[in-house]
Structure 1
Amino acid sequence: MPSSLHVIGHQQPDTDTICSALAYARLKQAQGVDATPARAGEVNPETQFVLDRWDTESPSLLDDAAGEQLILVDHNEYSQAVSGAHDATIVEVVDHHRIGDIETSDPIYFRNEPVGSTATILTQLYEEANKTIDAQTAGLLLSGLLSDTVVLRSPTTTDQDRSIADHLADIAGVDIEKYGKELLQQKSKIGEKSPREMVLSDFKEFEFESHQVGIGQVETVEPEVVLEQREAVLAAMDDVATERNYTVFLLLVTDLLKEESTALIAGTQIDTVEDGLDTTFTEQEAFLPGVMSRKKQVVPPLEDAFN
């Protein structure tokens, strides 16, 4: 039986990864390619709000990708990919993160740009293919873009993101600030989760030299909801770090209104993290003024520190 072609994002999927899978699968279908959107985990409250708002079904859950064909969106590292990715055929990658460890036996289409979201790149791909973006797809792409750039406030935001956001908002018929505030409110529903669900809801695993490092992030307008459960959250982080043999598990609790983060940490080599982030942890906690982006402000200095 021939393998299927799945467009899929990373584990612990966020809004950009889900919306990108949906939008790129639609573009592929418009180009005559039999591609299906898929997801590598459960959707979070913000993403479910987006799917409901734009009357779109969630991509189907792919538990094991072994033997399948994959188009990876919003990631390009095996540690973040769907189970079985090592035994799948990766035929394309569209991403906006650092270049990771994905390997292929044949040349593939690999699009990676230093922009604020994968949705930004996909909008360009629609334009390059001369394919029309309908209002629903524009709403999905705009949602992914605004979510990943924290409504264009993240330091990862580029002029390209801003221009494309305006274009998508016009097609979708929404006001960026008004709709963005609705997305921010949905992010704050993290407080409804258990401590373990909180720390793993927006989570990525990295390999720095021989060190396995987990970095989670909670973006919210109510950081106190998370920090009031500090001890339970740290206990959950300790459990995950032990189970997965992480050198370090770092959690960013990001205040979207004040544009700053509080970092909680578990594991060993805390001093390495302190050196990388130029901070000091007291009782497993540190304040990181101005830090909002894991991708731009946390991962690069930590990679340098561990290497």
Structure 2
Amino acid sequence: MSQPSYVIGHQQPDTDTIISAVAYARLKQAQGEDAAPARAGAINPETQFVLDRWEVEKPALLEDAAGERLALVDHNEHSQTVSGAREAEITDIVDHHRIGDVETSSPIFFRNEPVGSTATILTRLYDEADVEIDAQTAGLLLSGLLSDTVVLRSPTTTDTDRTVAERLADIADVDYETYGKELLQQKSKLGEKEPREMVLGDFKEFEFGSHDVGIGQIETVEPDTVLEQREAVLEAMDEVVAEREYAVLVLLVTDLLEEESTALVAGDHAETVEAGLDVTLTDREAFLPGVMSRKKQVVPPLEDAFQ
């Protein structure tokens, strides 16, 4: 009997990463594989709301993946993988981000599509495998899709996402706009968080040439909740930069209703951020009208600027 595998998303998991782990593990199980969902970090309030809404247990926390078999969802860069992933056997990758640096010693199943969420790709994989999507799984997949595309408002949203969202909402028997607004409210539960938690809550690390760069994002309908604590948040960012030796750390405070962001910046390469994003920082802050997507609107220009 082969060793069982864990299906796991990135560190600082968001809703798409958690539900993708659950949904892909279920697909594998339906195909006769021994797979279980896992997570690489704490569950955020929005994701907990989703799990409670659809009556699903949160995946087990995997603290060290060395020696395990892993299927990666919603990421494919070692800077974002669970601890020990370099010493694990990676069997599958399903993702919608840029192609990163995860290497394998033999061919694997690798599915990467330019869509708004990993949940969208997984819905297609269910169809291709001729595996029925039940109402609960549809609710989970819809949650990941709506969360990552900001209820189909993000510039990463494609026609495929819209078509899939309508279908999943029909199976789950919900109105996706109404349900999506509930998710947006959950994203805004920031008041009880410490500044460091805000910075690292939805956070990804990138290697741009020889530079390590951190990019965090806070999506909220109440941006003033964060910006009123600006000095404390910047202090927390400085601490993270010093601890992790980042060239720069950018935190996007994204207003989901106005569809715009404010960027806060820490580190010694602020001028590179200015060049990459075509902005001028004032007191380590810049306004980014129309910017909602870290993946599409921030990562590519910063990568170009650093390289």
Assess same fold via TM > 0.5: yes
Answering whether residue 165 of structure 2 is matched by residue 165 of structure 1, we say yes
1:81-102, Cα deviation, whole Å (9 max, x unpaired): 0000000000000000000000
User: 2: distance between equivalents of 1:166 and 1:159?
Assistant: 11
Aligned-residue CA RMSD (Å) = 0.9
- Counterpart residue number, 1:73: 73
- Counterpart residue number, 1:125: 125
Answering whether residue 202 of structure 2 is matched by residue 207 of structure 1, we say no
> Match of 1:47, as an amino acid?
T
User: 2: distance between equivalents of 1:276 and 1:107?
Assistant: 35
TM-score, with structure 2 as normaliser: 0.99
8 Å contact 1:97–1:295 — kept in the other structure? yes
Structure 1: 5+ residue stretches without partners = none
SS state of the match for residue 237, structure 1?
A: helix
**Aligned-pair distance for 1:269?**
1.0
Q: How many pairs were matched up? A: 307
- Counterpart residue number, 1:149: 149
**Aligned-pair distance for 1:180?**
0.4
User: 2: distance between equivalents of 1:104 and 1:215?
Assistant: 26
8 Å contact 1:3–1:67 — kept in the other structure? no
Q: Which stretches of structure 1, 4 residues or more, deviate above 6 A after TM superposition?
A: none
Superposition pairs for residues 32-181 of structure 1, below 5 Å? Answer: 32-181=32-181
8 Å contact 1:24–1:122 — kept in the other structure? yes
> Match of 1:171, as an amino acid?
I
Structure 2: 5+ residue stretches without partners = none
> Match of 1:73, as an amino acid?
V
1:75-134, Cα deviation, whole Å (9 max, x unpaired): 000000000000000000000000000000000010000000000000000000000000
SS state of the match for residue 299, structure 2?
A: helix
User: 1: distance between equivalents of 2:79 and 2:40?
Assistant: 12
SS state of the match for residue 91, structure 1?
A: strand
8 Å contact 1:64–1:84 — kept in the other structure? yes
User: 2: distance between equivalents of 1:298 and 1:280?
Assistant: 15
User: 2: distance between equivalents of 1:15 and 1:3?
Assistant: 27
> Match of 2:285, as an amino acid?
E
Same amino acid, percent of matched pairs? 77
User: 1: distance between equivalents of 2:133 and 2:62?
Assistant: 26
1:208-260, Cα deviation, whole Å (9 max, x unpaired): 00100000000000000000000000000000010000000000000000000
8 Å contact 1:191–1:198 — kept in the other structure? no
